[in-house]
Amino acid sequence: MSRTARVLLLSAAVAATLSASLAACQRKEDKAQAPAAPAPAAAPAMSNTPVGYDSKTPYAAVKLTLPQAIKTTPALHAALYADTVRDLKQFEEGAQADLSEAGGGPNPYEKTIAFAPGAETGKLVSLARTDFEFTGGAHPNTSFDAVIWDKTTNKRLGFADLFRPGADLSVLDKALCAAANAAKQARSPGSEAATLDGKMWTCPKAVSTPFVLTPGTTPGKAGGVTFLMGPYQIGPYSDGPYWIALPQSALRALLNPAYADQFDGAPVKAGDVTPKNG
């Protein structure tokens, strides 16, 4: 082989080696620059607390029902379960004391507590609580309460947290009274209207009426609030309870700025939204 041929062959080998090295380096660089695959979204923490409680004695029958969805809010779930089971056990003890003192009774007392979900937003969870209680008499008693829970702080909120301090609530009281009377007339046409200062039927003030968030037309936002009124509040027992939904547009100016962004759109349904079995 001539000297020229050997030089050409050596040059080709060096070029091939250099090319391979550059290609390898490029592959390493590309691999280093390639974006990492996104980590799978973490599943929400789930509570191990039961969603129900049921107990029967010769003196009382008690029951608690919580929605399955509450398991994704463990702190709220645990707190509600502990508080309500304690209430039910105290009711059982009271029933035993009453009926034992009276020498027994024809029927045991009865109490049920059921929670139903209201709207949920990015920051807030709401639940309506219905208490059904029968201790004898002409009919059982039904009452309502509500829970508004801040998921970011794991704290229960009150009226004063959700609404702006110093806000003129008379506007809200009037809107609630008007909507309640519209529902009352639909159920009992010609019945006496309730008023804010009525002698026969008095509209309850918003600040003293439990409420939940109302499902709305904007995903992840509340369309308003639903006030829960028990029987006898604005009409006879035969009328039943009234759940009255007001649109967020009627109360937006009254909201605490810290929670105003949790409201938008309109309620899926406004006015009388009382559950059919309420």
117-129 tens-digit pLDDT:
999 999 999 999 9
The CA distances from residue 277 to 130, 203, 241, 243, in Å, are: 11, 23, 10, 12
Mean pLDDT, rounded, for 230-241: 89
Please report the pLDDT score of residue 4 as a whole number.
Answer: 46
pLDDT greater at residue 18 or residue 220: 220
pLDDT greater at residue 153 or residue 138: 153
Please tell me the distance from the alpha carbon of residue 114 to that of residue 143, in angstroms, as a whole number.
11
pLDDT category of residue 33 using cuts at 50, 70 and 90: low
Helix and strand numbers, DSSP H then E, in the chain: 5, 10
CA terminus-to-terminus distance, the chain: 104
- Flag whether pLDDT at 84 surpasses 80: yes
**Sequence-separated (6 or more) residues with CB below 8 Å from residue 12:** none
pTM of the model: 0.81
Please report the pLDDT score of residue 277 as a whole number.
Answer: 65
SS3 content of the chain, % helix, strand, coil (to 5): 35, 25, 35
pLDDT greater at residue 103 or residue 172: 172
**Sequence-separated (6 or more) residues with CB below 8 Å from residue 215:** 118, 119, 222, 223, 267, 268
- Flag whether pLDDT at 264 surpasses 70: yes
Q: Considering the chain, what is the average pLDDT of its residues?
A: 86
Please report the pLDDT score of residue 27 as a whole number.
Answer: 54
The sheet with strand 109-120 has its strands ordered as: 52-56, 60-65, 109-120, 124-134, 141-150, 155-157
pLDDT greater at residue 259 or residue 48: 259
Please tell me the distance from the alpha carbon of residue 104 to that of residue 58, in angstroms, as a whole number.
9
Q: Enumerate the H helices of the chain as residue ranges.
A: 3-33, 74-101, 159-162, 170-187, 257-260
- Flag whether pLDDT at 1 surpasses 80: no
Query: What are the b/e assignments for 52-70, b being 16+ CB within 10 Å?
Result: ebeeeeebbbbbbebeeeb
**126's tokens:** 């709401």
> Which pLDDT tens digit goes with each residue over 154-198?
999 999 999 999 999 999 999 999 999 999 999 999 999 999 998
> What whole-number percentage of the chain has pLDDT above 70?
82
pLDDT category of residue 200 using cuts at 50, 70 and 90: confident
